[in-house]
Structure formats: C-alpha cells, structure tokens
Structure 1
C-alpha cells in the first residue's frame, strides 16, 4: 500500500461488493475500512466504486470511516458543538460555500500544523506562529458563527479595540483572497 497512485497516475480502484467486502484491484486482495483509513493516512489516492452499478461511493465510504473512528471509543476529534453546527448548515443558503471553505481551512491547518506544534511545545505563546494559529481559529469561529446566523453580525468590542464586525470584514477579505487562489489553482 505504499504507492500514492498506480503506475499510470490514476487512483487505485477499490470495489465494494453487496456483501460489504472491499476489493483492492491494484493488489488483487480484499481489504477492510481500517486498511482504507491507513491508505488515507499514507496519502494513497483511491476511488471506491460499487461493484454492481459502478457508481462512485468514495464519499460515503470516507464518511463511514470517520463514523467508525469517532465511535471507536478512543479520543473523539469532532466536538459535539461542531457536529451540531455542521448539521445546521445542511439546507442553509451558505451550504454551497462550506465544502470549499472546510477544504481550504484543513489545507491551511495541515500546512501550518508542524510549525504550530513546535511553537506550542516550546511554550512560545506570543510567537508569530502562535498568533497565526490564534488568527486561524478566530477566523474559523467567526465564519461558522456568521454562516449559522445567516450573515447577521452584531458588533462587540474586543480587547484590541476592534469590533467583531471589523474583524469579520477582514476575514471576508481573506476568504475572498483564498477563494481567488483556489480558483486559480483549479484552472
């Protein structure tokens, strides 16, 4: 399972049969959801197809892996409040924005993860990296609050003298810049 893609550059095809078994066509072997989770962690690209219909069911399989990870009895990653907010976004007028926002946020987090961990391990809470993390978290909270409130924001004073409304305007500008960069990358 060490290869990121097949030799022809295509993602590995996994077939899911009616008996719920998963078959890796690249290695010609049956695998488990746990094996797929390992492939994700190893950055192995794959696509899961329903063996009978040929439909792409990768999304539902990845969702099932998350459900299994959350229910495994170990430490849960997704807080209840986040799950409630996420569920609340379904059917919301801002729902279409969420996938690209969450993807950009996760990509930004992954890019800065090692730097953030190093800064906190050294106990440098006033370092630029700690402030970057703090800003990223504030941006995510503000965006989620705005999306859930239907775009209505009440200005409140902050410690630094700025209001939430001013901060939100700055965050919107950052989001617009990120969206522009994502659009450019997508071309």
Structure 2
C-alpha cells in the first residue's frame, strides 16, 4: 500500500476484528505494526461508538511485540512511566517523550553507522582516523594564529621526510615564537628610558 497524505481509517469491531477501509480487508495487529514501520498513517475508530481508539490500539501493538520477546522497553522505564500517571509531571511526559523519540529517529541512521563502526571489525581503523582528523583540525587552528614561519612566508605542507622531525621542530618553533611575543609584550608594557607618563 502506497503512502498517502490522508490517514487510513481502521474500524475495530466488538469481536476485536480490525477492518482497513482503505483496502476493504480485515487486518491484524501485526499488519498495523507493519503499516507503522512503513510510515503509513492510520486512525482507529470503534465501529460501534465512533470513538477514536488509536492510542489504545498502538499500545496493544507494543504489548504484543513485548510478549513476543522483542523487549524494547526496560522494566525501570515501564515502572517510572506508571509512576507518572496521576503525578504533577504527567502533562509534561508526552511532549518530552515525543521530542526524545523524534530526535532519536532523526539521528538513527548516523547512530547505526556509528555503532557499526564502533563495534565492527574496523573499529580500530575508525578510531585512528578520528584521531588523525582531530590532529589536522588542531594543526589548522594553530596555523590560524601562526600563519607565517620564521621567514615571513606562508608555511608549506610537511613532506614525508620532514614529518618525523616535525614534533621537535614545531615545539622549538612554538617556544621561540612565545619568547618573541613575550619580549614584544614587555617592550610595550615597560616604558623606555627617558619616557614619562
């Protein structure tokens, strides 16, 4: 069934049978669960009273999934959720949960990729790659503050030969530049002989 802008109307009869008015067929809770997974919107009405019962049917789907052993909701979460009923926080809980699950849904693909990378066979390579990227970002940031070398010309990318000596040379260069900056600061701060306030 293709996704549509309008929600499909499902009618629930006294014998607990669910009727999909869009396809003119009887459906099961499992069918409705598949519709949810396929992002097909539906609204459930009690066939006799006309009352909307979507929430209770969705809760029933969760109950069925949990009974199949696909435990998604931790016991501590369920206990805390029950405690919120009748509590002063009850009105805040739905919007908080809605926001949280929406955020998780938006980030789920990135989250899946992250978990696959973290726990997959290439976890060490990914960690090395992240450290390498962080180091490059740090080096670029440092170049923003020290864009010129000692000759006054822009620094060129390091070659393979210079990379081995780079940590020692860079540290010495940073020390030298800090000493130069300190001398300049001192010369500005301390008045020269013959100068008065």
Change in 2 beyond 3 A, CA 1:69/1:125: farther
TM-score (norm 2): 0.59
User: Does the 8 Å CA contact 1:119/1:125 hold for their aligned counterparts?
Assistant: no
**TM-score, length-scaled by structure 1:** 0.62
| Counterpart check, 1:70 vs 2:66 | yes
Q: 1:38 aligns with which of 26, 29, 34?
A: 34
Q: In the alignment, which residue of structure 2 is the partner of 1:14?
A: 10
Structure 1 segment 20-59 matched on structure 2, within 5 A:
20-59=16-55
2:114 matches 1:115: no
Off by >4 Å, runs of 4+ in structure 1: 124-127
**Pair member with larger Rg:** 2
Give, in whole Å, the separation in 2 of the partners of 1:25 and 1:63: 21
SS in 1 for 2:91: helix
For the structure 1 residues 112 and 125, does the alpha-carbon distance in structure 2 shift closer, same or farther, using more than 3 Å as the test? farther
> RMSD of the alignment, in Å?
1.6
Out of 100, 103, 109, which is 2:98 matched to? 103
Question: Structure 2 regions of 5+ residues with no counterpart?
Answer: 119-125, 131-197
Q: Which has the higher contact order (CA 8 A, sep 6+)?
A: 1
Instruction: Write the deviation string for residues 132-175 of structure 1: whole angstroms up to 9, x where unpaired.
Output: xxxxxxxxxxxxxxxxxxxxxxxxxxxxxxxxxxxxxxxxxxxx
Aligned equivalents of 1:104, 1:33: Cα separation in 2: 26
